[in-house]
Amino acid sequence: MQHIYDIDVQVPMRDGVALAANVWHPAEGAAPTLLVRLPYGKDVMGFGQSAIPDLLTLVEAGYAVVVQDCRGTHRSEGEFVPHMADRADGEDTVAWIAEQPWSDGTVGMYGPSYLGMVQWETAVTGAPALKAIAPAFTSIDNYESPWYGAGGALSLSLVTLWNAMMYAADAQRSLAAGEGSVDQVQQLGQALLSAESLNEVLPTAEVPVLAAYGKWWDDWMAHPSHDAYWDAMELTPELKNVTVPALNIGGWYDLYIGQTIRTYTTARRQTGTAQAREGQRLIIGPWDHMATTGVYPDRSFGPLASAQMLGLTGLHVKFFDRWLRGDTTALDDVAPVKIFVMGIDQWRDEQEWPLPDTLWTDYHLTSGGRANTADGDGALTTEPPAGVEHDTYLYDPRRPVPSAGGASMPVTPGFCGPVDQRTVTGRDDVLCFATPVLEEPVEVTGPVSLTLFVSSSAVDTDFTAKLVDVFPDGKAINLCDGILRTRYRGGLATEELMEPGTVYEITIDMTATSNVFLPGHRIRVDVSSSNFPRYDRNTNTGGVIARESEEQMIPAVNHIHHGPNHPSRLVLPVIDRKDQR
């Protein structure tokens, strides 16, 4: 089949702005069309993300493909402000595609991260020609992920890196148009090359090169709570307008994993048609935001782990064949939920999420009061402890616990994914609670949370939690984690400070995982008060954290209480399928 490739096709928007697109379409006849909208430059074939399906395979499968620069980026006209124009622009682009002679009037969308956000933003408009979307590693709530966390802490390393990248591109664009300055481009370019150093600058809101450029940086810093500013960008209330099925793709170590799962489960209940609800699919691999090989320095998940071995491009083709071409048998061999189970390193098909045979199991925290470090006396037990005790540590924001792996952007090697926690668990401000050595395998698949009874010398502080698989040789691999800024313990929209010394019950959302803890291993949860620079440091003052300097920071003496009256516990979704072992 012969194809035509048109570069920089101008697509008119309702306000007269033209957006540039590259178009691949058959030389003859009309075809279903797949649309990608992105702010990173349409001329880069792979877009720097390995979860994206192979474009040429999609073209050879008989699809036309349109790849468009978002408004105000690269070769498209207008001004870029994250998320502000993507609903209308997506709707207009879908309508334009449906009118082209090479289009059969049906449109699908695909792509990860921001490319996934714009799919949901288009879907909530109810664009008639849009028939299916395949959002990967993405969110419908821009506060809870990516820019802040589900517990209210700023996703510092991501926010500084992403804004440096977008501002540098914007400054280059302005310079090419005869505006701006060479100095500004150089400063932002240097900031991008050394984005890690931006995380050390205080106050955070006044990071010189980013604050000087202004734009949305100032807005994000001015709205640390999930207030009306963020509500305007959240799509959950508008899912009722969505009429299309979605192929939701995520990674256990992706920064969006919590939102990916939440979007799938919410869309199964709240989208506007039975077809949209029943047509939802979920795939989760042992991947991070950029890499889908399943291979990391401290942990390799085996030859089956990669998106390539899974055949992720082929799954996209089947999904679009079903919903754009009407092939009712295309997904017959594709389960509604496909997850990679770590530990046994195997893919497994499921019918729903969470799994219907989940046994929600409490693992109680206990100790003799010395759970500090991995060599302390912290323990996890399925039997409630009889003794009353607490563990204490000093959280000093000038000496935060450094980030060691996890579901974050891979800023530097070892910053995301599975990482041996022995690099941080020798610190006295990390509490470790572990089971005895397991004699039988324990599968944990589903949402994970930690309920703690805490008190502090401060009016506000953070608590972090990390689920860890401890190997027989002592290697300790993180699986999932979470953080809660205690001022948001009652909800992300309102702040409520603590009374020093008063005990509060809090719950930390640790997102989800799927892992079999093998015999000889131990289940462990690590508790502390910082994960820097993945999240910003709580200054412990109760003030506006982004506006505070290092001189304003104060240490906090934090306590974890456990025992009959304070049942601190790790809640694990245990799957007991002895017939499958």
Catalytic residue among 86, 92, 170, 254: 254
Residue 532 to residue 529: CA distance in whole angstroms = 10
pLDDT of residue 48: 53
pLDDT at 581 over 60: no
Residue 229 to residue 143: CA distance in whole angstroms = 10
Residues 6+ apart with CB under 8 A from 237: none
Higher pLDDT among residues 180 and 426, named by residue: 426
193-197, 207-211, 536-540 — most confident range: 536-540
Using pLDDT thresholds of 50, 70 and 90, give the confidence band for residue 403.
very high
In whole numbers, what is the pLDDT of the chain averaged over residues? 96
Percent composition of the chain: helix, strand, coil (DSSP 3-state, to 5): 25, 30, 45
Look up tokens 């009374």; give the residue.
Answer: 499
pLDDT at 47 over 60: no
Catalytic site includes residue 530:
no
Using pLDDT thresholds of 50, 70 and 90, give the confidence band for residue 489.
very high
Q: How is residue 148 annotated by DSSP?
A: B
Neighbours of 179 (CB within 10 A): 10
Q: How is residue 93 annotated by DSSP?
A: H
pLDDT of residue 318: 98
Catalytic site includes residue 15:
no
pLDDT of residue 410: 84
Catalytic site includes residue 579:
no
Chain centroid, CA 247 distance in Å: 16
User: Range with the lowest mean pLDDT among 36-45, 319-328, 554-563?
Assistant: 36-45
Quick: pLDDT tens for 323-344: 999 999 999 999 999 999 999 9
Dihedral of alpha carbons 26, 29, 32, 38, sign: positive
pLDDT at 44 over 90: no
pLDDT of residue 388: 87
3-class DSSP state for residue 379?
strand
- The helix (run of H) or strand (run of E) holding residue 338 is strand 337-341
Quick: pLDDT tens for 54-99: 999 999 999 999 999 999 999 999 999 999 999 999 999 999 999 9
Q: Are strands 247-253 and 281-288 parallel, antiparallel or unpaired?
A: parallel
Using pLDDT thresholds of 50, 70 and 90, give the confidence band for residue 412.
confident
pLDDT at 156 over 70: yes
For residue 426, give the nearest of 474, 391, 467, 374 by alpha carbon: 374
pLDDT at 16 over 90: yes
Higher pLDDT among residues 173 and 413, named by residue: 173
Using pLDDT thresholds of 50, 70 and 90, give the confidence band for residue 45.
low
Residues written for the chain: 581
Kindly state the average pLDDT of the residues 470-484: 98
pLDDT of residue 49: 62
Contact status, residue 331 vs residue 322, Cβ threshold 8 Å? yes
Which domains does the chain show, CATH number per domain? 3-144+231-350 (3.40.50.1820), 155-223 (no CATH), 359-580 (2.60.120.260)
What the block records as the tokens of 580 is: 């499958």
Catalytic residue among 113, 139, 155, 529: 113
Provide, rounded to the nearest whole percent, the portion of the chain with pLDDT above 70. 99
Half-sphere exposure in the Cβ direction for 420 (13 Å, CA): 11
Using pLDDT thresholds of 50, 70 and 90, give the confidence band for residue 387.
confident
pLDDT of residue 579: 62
Catalytic residue among 74, 226, 289, 562: 289
Quick: pLDDT tens for 455-470: 999 999 999 999 999 9
Look up tokens 């194809």; give the residue.
Answer: 3
**For the stretch 486-522, what's the b/e string if a residue is b when 16 or more beta carbons lie within 10 angstroms of its beta carbon?**
bbbbeebeebeebeeeeebebbbbbbbbbbbbbeebb
